Amino acid sequence: MGDTQEAAGERLLQTLRSMKAYDPAGDYYALTLGANRRGGLAWSAQTHWVGFSERNPRWEIRAACLVDPEFIRKAWTAMKQDWVSVHDDAGLAVYLRLGGNALVGRQVAEDRLSSVIAPKECVHDGSAESGGFGYLVTQHLPDDSVERRAPTRKLRMQVLKRDGFRCVVCGRRASDHTDIELHLHHLVPWRMAGPTAEENLVTLCGTCHKGLDPDFEPALRELAGLPGPAAGLDMDNAEFDEEVTRCRALAGEVLAQRQVP
């Protein structure tokens, strides 16, 4: 058993060493793996525009694109973000436990992560107004989310219950204050093609809603505990670091469960 464990440890060390090497002329996708505030895995990728959504012409179809690995490496290094390179299944297995940034070889990505790099309907996450360039995937949303500006009664109640029937800014509830009128606010504004869906709606009282200027305020995501960027630009990488930490904790929990007899 000791020899077997030692051999496994050596293989792991070899894999980890290889994950800092890459071919500057190779074909890579730039992928990031984290976990959002609800504990769900969150993939992102360097993407390019490939068309428009049939459901809503304002929404883009975007797919992961091959990148210049040297340029991406320098960008991640400048932002003081850790990164790895993935060339085979062994490296991919380690990366799925570590999360974070990775230069993933074309063959591995196309064979093992086809759903991650595939074309998807996307809408700007709102950070475009603050100088950013993020996108939210919308492919899973019902058609009704792009056709209706006002939420249905069922969706309204769903969001109110999620937020504890309180304004996420001031914390007041209608049950405690007779003057409170609860509204639902689009995090990515309707004028910017923001969908009428639970992950894009948050509960505000009438006072806070009317005083919200500008109408795009990314920090409301964090107050409501919702997935997605909590700031227009993650200048200090705090959001990225938290997502990676959550991802590693989640991977640790899964591994611990598998080891339980």
Q: Give pLDDT tens digits for 147-199.
A: 889 999 999 999 999 999 999 999 999 888 777 899 999 988 888 888 899 98
Q: Quick count: other Cβ atoms within 10 Å of Cβ 166?
A: 19
Q: Give pLDDT tens digits for 108-119.
A: 999 999 999 999
Confidence of residue 130 (pLDDT cuts 50, 70, 90): very low
Average pLDDT over residues 3-28: 80
Region of poorest pLDDT, from 9-13, 80-84, 90-94, 249-253: 9-13
Mean of all residue pLDDT scores within the chain: 85
DSSP assignment string, the chain: -HHHHHHHHHHHHHHHHHTT---TTS-EEEEEEEE-TTS-EEEEE-EEEEEE-SS-TTSEEEEE-EE-HHHHHHHHHHTT--EEEE-SHHHHHHHHHH-EEEEEEHHHHHHH-HHHHS-EEEEE-SGGGGT---EEE-TTS-THHHH-SSPPHHHHHHHHHHTTTB-TTT--BTTT-TT--EEEEESS-GGGT--SSGGGEEEEEHHHHHT-SSS--THHHHHTT-SS-SSSS-TT-HHHHHHHHHHHHHHHHHHHHHH--
Provide CB contacts within 8 A for 257, sequence distance 6+: none
Residue 31 to residue 47: CA distance in whole angstroms: 10
Average pLDDT over residues 121-137: 66
Q: Give pLDDT tens digits for 91-105.
A: 999 999 999 999 999
Q: What is the pLDDT of residue 126?
A: 64
Residue 102 to residue 214: CA distance in whole angstroms: 35
Tallying the residues shown for the chain, one arrives at: 261
To the nearest 10°, the Cα dihedral for 115, 117, 120, 122?
A: 130
Nearest to 139 by CA among 56, 219, 201: 56
Q: Quick count: other Cβ atoms within 10 Å of Cβ 3?
A: 7
Q: What is the pLDDT of residue 119?
A: 95
Q: What is the pLDDT of residue 138?
A: 80
Backbone angles phi, psi at 50, to 5 degrees: -125, 0
Residue carrying the six token digits 């080891």: 259
